[in-house]
Chains A and B, each alone.
Chain A
Amino acid sequence: MESYKAKKALTQGLIHLFLIVFTITMLVPFLWMVLTAFKTQSESTAIDPFVILPSTWHFDNFVTVWNSYNFLYLYKNTLLMIFFRVLCAVLTATMAGYAFGRLEFPGKKILFAMVLIQMMVPAQIFIIPQYIMVSKLKWINTIAGLVFPGAVTAFGTFLLKQGYQGLPKDLEEAASIDGCNIGQQFLVIMMPLTRSSMVSLGIFTAVFAFKDLMWPMIVCSDAKSTTLSAGLAKMQGQFSSNFPQLMAAATMACLPMIVLYLIFQKQFVEGIATSGGKL
């Protein structure tokens, strides 16, 4: 019995050790990013011994990056892109999801097959024609151009369809007896019940748009009209050795999403986990 207990304690200890080492590995890049952002250039490149904590906490790097890289515009563009993409995606997907999940209409099977096909095809297939359309519409370097490919969502339609199918069968019957037409049933009764699916889709859409690099680089090459991700790529190209400034930029780009994640953790994890690897 004694040895069994000792063995169990040892296993527990090893598990904790593993978890702690893993936590450090996961956190060091983030910590190093933030710490470096507060250092001077010479502190950031000091070796033997390297400097862990900055001697004084400089905000200069943030100020410089903010002023010389149009960070205000980057935030604004990213926010607007996310806002409109979430709005469009949730609106269109919730309507289509309701129709696919609860209504019978001609062509339903074929149309839903199209939704599934879109989900299986890698997104790079669409990019060249989408870019040509955006440039013909003269939407290069605009918010509309950034939002364009995310105006509708096959994945979201699928997710919301699942949500509507999960609701009890007789909900509409009760409503139709009360004299509601289908539009009223949808708005008043059904839609509020799928709030959690809508939140998941909204978060997924927001994080996906926030992380996307290729599309904003293609359609918004102008420094003032691009997003945080693409802005970072531009900055790195110009300033590849000023580590404190680069890290300050990376910190500022990541901070809003990380804060939101820490506040709405449960919804974030659910929203991203439902995406099935699309992120």
Chain B
Amino acid sequence: MATTKRKMTPSQKSQAKWGLAFVAPTMIGLIVLNFYPIFNTVYQSFFKTGDFGMGNIFVGLQNYVTVLKGGEFWSSLLNTFKYALIEVPFSVAFALLLAVFLNRKIACRGFYRTVFFLPMVAAPAAIAMVWRFLYNQQFGLINNVFHSTTAWISDPKIAWISLGVIGVWSVVGYNMILLIAGLQEIPHDYYEAAEIDGATGIKQFFRITIPLLSPTIFFIVQTRIIGALQQFDLIFMMMDRSNPALPKTQTVVYYFYVNAFQYNNRGLGAAIVLCMLVLIMMITWVLQKSEKYWVFYN
């Protein structure tokens, strides 16, 4: 036994050879494209990027102080949370309703699914352009239909809600598809038994569907929260730099992009994105810890 452990059999040898050869391209790629950049980002966060990208100056923790002491990071973070607060609960709640309705035999089921999923294959840049037009204060369809003059995306009080609505519209179909897949895992017997016991549709929904679907719901909520915290495209496309509501809507990744690539202050950008990483990891950890309190596993 001891000798076979040290000396590999020809079959083990060939597996080792082929295995390493097969993972080599991916692993080299991951090291160059992802692992080196993680360390490089940390390294850069201690430097002030010199003018014209020349000569970085070591500044220690100065970038982190700028990020954490300045108000902009925290207000961006608050905006990001506010966006997530609209997008996640509403997209999941609507998706849950749609999934339950479309999981039964109903006319035009395929058509509905096709339509609801459509935003997932459209470019966010295009979606944002269309919504920007719909929200337009003077010529927008929404104000025209409802005879209002609301400044949907330039009134700081409501712009974050308007953006959240687009977020809900964009991902509701995706959540629905995942929930339908989850619903199909629930055995039919449960509902039949409930029917015999006289439980109505709404009772069945809360006593059977929600508990048995909770792992899927948890998964969606978790991925959607993390996705919403990285929101960028919508804000970038919807909000002009001159938009008075921008300070009340810009997200953390937008704040990162502007500093790293428009002001070319890469050191500060690196510090922002690392603060965001710590935050996302904390949120993931809290979600994982909380999982057992509200997810029901069979």
A23: B residues at CB distance < 8 A: 112, 115-116
Interface residues of A in 221-265 (CB under 8 A from B): 228-230, 232-233, 236, 240, 243, 246-247, 249-251, 253-254, 257-258, 260-262, 265
- Encoded as 1 (CB less than 8 Å from any B CB) or 0, chain A from 92 to 129 comes to 11011011100111111001001100101111111111
Asked if B276 is at the interface (CB within 8 A of a chain A CB), the reply is: yes
Interface residues of A in 179-232 (CB under 8 A from B): 181-183, 186, 207, 210-211, 213-214, 217-218, 228-230, 232
Flag if B133 contacts A95 (CB, 8 Å).
no
Interface residues of B in 106-131 (CB under 8 A from A): 106-108, 112-127, 129-131
A122: B residues at CB distance < 8 A: 226, 230, 273, 276-277, 280
- Given A111-B27, A118-B34, A32 and B130 touching (CB < 8 A)? yes
Asked if A40 is at the interface (CB within 8 A of a chain B CB), the reply is: no
- Encoded as 1 (CB less than 8 Å from any B CB) or 0, chain A from 119 to 149 comes to 0111111111111110000000000000011
Flag if B16 contacts A47 (CB, 8 Å).
no
Name A156's closest neighbour in chain B (CB-CB): B26
A207: B residues at CB distance < 8 A: 120-121
Flag if A276 contacts B223 (CB, 8 Å).
yes
Asked if A277 is at the interface (CB within 8 A of a chain B CB), the reply is: yes
Flag if A272 contacts B120 (CB, 8 Å).
yes
Closest Cβ of chain A: how far from B49's Cβ, in Å?
10
- Given A149-B33, A254-B123, A214 and B18 touching (CB < 8 A)? no
Which of B37-45, B64-72, B289-297 lies at the interface with chain A? B37-45
Most chain B CB atoms below 10 A, which of A36, A120, A129, A230: A129
Partner of B126, one of A25, A176, A250, A269: A250
Partner of B125, one of A115, A130, A133, A213: A213
Interface residues of B in 84-139 (CB under 8 A from A): 94, 97-98, 101-102, 106-108, 112-127, 129-134, 136, 138-139
CA distance A253 to B121 in the complex (A): 11
- Encoded as 1 (CB less than 8 Å from any A CB) or 0, chain B from 230 to 262 comes to 101100110010000000000001001100110
CA distance A249 to B219 in the complex (A): 36
Flag if B26 contacts A157 (CB, 8 Å).
yes
Flag if B34 contacts A126 (CB, 8 Å).
yes
CA distance A228 to B240 in the complex (A): 20
Closest Cβ of chain A: how far from B28's Cβ, in Å?
8
Closest Cβ of chain A: how far from B260's Cβ, in Å?
6
Flag if B273 contacts A125 (CB, 8 Å).
yes
Chain B: interface size category: 35 or more
Most chain B CB atoms below 10 A, which of A95, A105, A153: A105
A278: B residues at CB distance < 8 A: 227
Name B144's closest neighbour in chain A (CB-CB): A50
Flag if A273 contacts B177 (CB, 8 Å).
yes
Asked if A63 is at the interface (CB within 8 A of a chain B CB), the reply is: no
Closest Cβ of chain A: how far from B263's Cβ, in Å?
13
- Given A118-B34, A128-B44, A247-B133, A233 and B125 touching (CB < 8 A)? yes
Flag if A236 contacts B30 (CB, 8 Å).
no
Name A273's closest neighbour in chain B (CB-CB): B177
Flag if B219 contacts A276 (CB, 8 Å).
yes
Interface residues of A in 138-176 (CB under 8 A from B): 148-149, 151-154, 157, 176
A125: B residues at CB distance < 8 A: 37-38, 41, 273-274, 277
Closest Cβ of chain B: how far from A31's Cβ, in Å?
10
CA distance A157 to B30 in the complex (A): 11
Flag if B38 contacts A30 (CB, 8 Å).
no
A157: B residues at CB distance < 8 A: 26
CA distance A22 to B102 in the complex (A): 13
Flag if A182 contacts B101 (CB, 8 Å).
no
- Identify 5 new A-B residue pairs, CB closer than 8 A, beyond the known A91-B25, A258-B122: A11-B201, A122-B230, A125-B273, A273-B174, A277-B226
7 A/B residue pairs, CB under 8 Å, sorted by A: A19-B98, A33-B130, A96-B26, A207-B120, A232-B125, A269-B177, A277-B220
Give chain B's interface residues, CB within 8 Å of chain A: 11-12, 14-20, 22-23, 25-30, 32-38, 40-41, 44, 94, 97-98, 101-102, 106-108, 112-127, 129-134, 136, 138-139, 141, 144-145, 169, 173-174, 177-178, 181, 201, 219-220, 223-224, 226-227, 230, 232-233, 236-237, 240, 253, 256-257, 260-261, 266, 269-270, 273-274, 276-277, 280, 284
